[in-house]
Amino acid sequence: MFLKNLKLTNFRNFSKVDLDFGNATLLVGNNAQGKTNLLESIYFLATSKSPRADKDVQLIKDGEEFVRVEGEVGNQSSVRQLPDRQSSESSSNLRFSESNDLIAEDSVLMTSLEIFMQKTAGSERLEKRTKVNGIGRRSTDYIGNLVVIHFSPEDINLVTGAPALRRWHLDLTLAQIDRDYKNALNTYHTSLISKNKILKGIKEGVARVDELEFWNGQMVFSGNLITQKRQAFFSFLNSNGSEGSLGNFRFIYEESLISESRIREYLAREIAAGNSLVGPHRDDFVFKIDSKDLEYFGSRGEQRTAVLELKLAELQFIKQFKNVLPILLLDDVFSELDTAHRQHVISAVDGQQTIISAVENEQIPESFLKKVQVINVEKGKLISASS
């Protein structure tokens, strides 16, 4: 998989961008010039979500009314079915379904992607449209046409931040490669909203307990599938994905199992709270090195390296289960790594399209600089490009 071209209109501090990419690209420039924004736009093109913005409106350039992000993606697909992958844990024996339709073996499919957002007059809401090859698509059908892994300094919050942030990252990672996961997640969240509304109604005396039955059934069915997929993901990360790692890191999945019996057990408490208390919407995971919980006892360097290790393990996971090479977006990845860790990253990412940002070339291993396309970014403009 590769991103051939990126076009931006009114994205963050960019008015216009029309950029062709090679296999390896280095964005160079001082802080606050637009390097991070450019990487963010590619992540946004892939997932329709921003890893940084609280609201989509923040992506629109100041003084403008709309934003458009477009890209042309090449994807080499195969008609071969992916084999079931197994690990030492039985929960890993799951097939991850392809996000896109399969085409003839070894053929190359070019796909055009577009996201358009426009402010609505007299409202804070945005009109948002996603298109694949010029045809409007729902978010669930859009995500997966471009698969990316994104690393930035702010990702240290995955270690220290709220569980909701870790679930958000987990869901977007799996949704890019697994249609069944996306569908189960949508069903679960729709059912969760409906159930919580009824729970509040019961608490207020305007709804009945038997109204929960349908939504409980939906949540149990979809929730169990979500949990199984997450279990398989973490089982891989802690086995195959940790080979040749930056350290002895572990990612401990803490699931909130959902079943009819657990729902009955928690019914009185859920009514009192007016909220659902069990299920994958309350899952979390913990970063550890050996037995040390990095949220509480890890240094900033250990936390940063643990997140990078997570992303590199995700790279291996996507390679194996989707049978494609995701695009790597590495924002300021080398600034706090020593020489050995920098070289490990370069070795780990070799083979797929990689876009890296840095303040200066000196941070980049020389072996990578020899084959990279260098683009200088200054005040929202691409000043020069060279190979």
User: Does position 313 have pLDDT exceeding 80, yes or no?
Assistant: yes
Q: What is the average pLDDT across 49-74?
A: 96
Residue 356 pLDDT level (bands cut at 50, 70, 90): very high
Amino acid 99: pLDDT: 43
Per-chain mean pLDDT for the chain: 88
In which residue are the tokens 């990095």 written?
294
User: Does position 53 have pLDDT exceeding 60, yes or no?
Assistant: yes
- Angle between the N-to-C axes of helices 163-175 and 213-237, in degrees from 0 to 180, rounded to the nearest 10: 80
User: Does position 347 have pLDDT exceeding 90, yes or no?
Assistant: no
User: Does position 321 have pLDDT exceeding 90, yes or no?
Assistant: no
Domain annotation for the chain: domains and CATH numbers: 1-77+100-142+324-387 (3.40.50.300), 163-322 (1.20.1050.90)
Cβ 19 vs Cβ 37: under 8 Å: no
Q: Cα–Cα distance between 242 and 236 in angstroms, integer?
A: 8
Amino acid 77: pLDDT: 42
**What's the 3-state SS for the chain?**
CEEEEEEEEEECCEEEEEEECCCEEEEECCCCCCHHHHHHHHHHHHHCCCCCCCCHHHHECCCCCEEEEEEEEEEECCCCCCCCECCCCHHHCECCCCCCCCCCCCCEEEEEEEEEEEECCCCCCEEEEEEECCEECCHHHHCCCCCEEEECHHHHHHHHCCHHHHHHHHHHHHHCCCHHHHHHHHHHHHHHHHHHHHHHHHHCCCCCHHHHHHHHHHHHHHHHHHHHHHHHHHHHHCCHHHCCCCCCEEEEEECCCCCHHHHHHHHHHHHHHCCCCCCHHHCEEEEEECCEEHHHHCCHHHHHHHHHHHHHHHHHHHHHHHCCCCEEEEECCCCCCCHHHHHHHHHHHCCCCEEEEECCHHHCCHHHHCCCEEEEEECCEEEEEEC
User: Does position 351 have pLDDT exceeding 90, yes or no?
Assistant: no
Q: What is the average pLDDT across 228-255?
A: 85
Extract the tokens encoding 60.
Answer: 């629109």
pTM of the model: 0.89
Q: What is the average pLDDT across 35-40?
A: 97
189-238 pLDDT, tens digit per residue, is: 999 999 999 999 999 999 999 999 999 999 999 999 999 999 999 999 99
Residue 19 pLDDT level (bands cut at 50, 70, 90): very high
Amino acid 86: pLDDT: 34
Q: What is the average pLDDT across 313-338?
A: 90
User: Does position 96 have pLDDT exceeding 60, yes or no?
Assistant: no
Residue 387 pLDDT level (bands cut at 50, 70, 90): very low
How many CB atoms are closer than 10 A to CB 367? 12
Residue 385 pLDDT level (bands cut at 50, 70, 90): low
Extract the tokens encoding 272.
Answer: 């009192």
Amino acid 352: pLDDT: 87
Residue 363 pLDDT level (bands cut at 50, 70, 90): confident
Amino acid 246: pLDDT: 67
Over pLDDT 90: what percentage of the chain? 74
Amino acid 339: pLDDT: 82
Amino acid 76: pLDDT: 56
Over pLDDT 70: what percentage of the chain? 89
User: Does position 90 have pLDDT exceeding 50, yes or no?
Assistant: no
Residue 92 pLDDT level (bands cut at 50, 70, 90): very low
Amino acid 243: pLDDT: 52
Question: For the ranges 27-36, 83-92, 96-105, which has the lowest average pLDDT?
Answer: 83-92
Amino acid 241: pLDDT: 55
Task: Tell me phi and psi for residue 200, to 5 degrees.
Answer: -65, -35
Residues 6+ apart with CB under 8 A from 16: 8, 9
Q: Cα–Cα distance between 50 and 56 in angstroms, integer?
A: 7
